[in-house]
Amino acid sequence: MGFILKIIITGIVALVLAQFFPGVTIDGITSAILLALVLAILNAVVRPILVFLTIPITFMTLGLFLLVINAIILYLADYLLTGFDINGIITAILFSLVLSIITAIIDAIL
């Protein structure tokens, strides 16, 4: 039950954040929940592989390259979903950063 609740909350947060970022568009609540589900799957499967492959550059940048990996995950979600569109690497980095912070705060509260 907790996983489904987290997916729904993440989808709602993503939908609200899309209103504040001009380069991010989400078609509706269904697309937002699908985005949250796809992000959960990509973060579970693809992100560990990318983190492992980029250990040297992540170490050299003191972990800041992980923000780029989060942006890559968002671009993969953009490629996989038709109802989600993101324009620009800076927008992707900022969107993923704010989404991660807000979902972590909500996760800590629940």
Mean pLDDT of 73-94: 94
- 3-state SS class at 22: coil
pLDDT at residue 109 in the model:
87
pLDDT tier for residue 15 given thresholds of 50, 70 and 90: very high
Nearest alpha-carbon partner for 14 in 38, 33, 42, 41: 33
DSSP single-letter state for residue 25: E
Angle at 20 between CA 15 and CA 24, to 5 degrees: 65
Residue 60 has pLDDT above 80, yes or no: yes
DSSP per-residue string spanning 35-89: HHHHHHHHHHHHHHHHHHHTHHHHHHTTTTHHHHHHHHHHHHHHHH-SSEEE--H
- 3-state SS class at 27: coil
Residue 107 has pLDDT above 90, yes or no: no
CB atoms inside a 10 Å sphere around CB 37 = 18
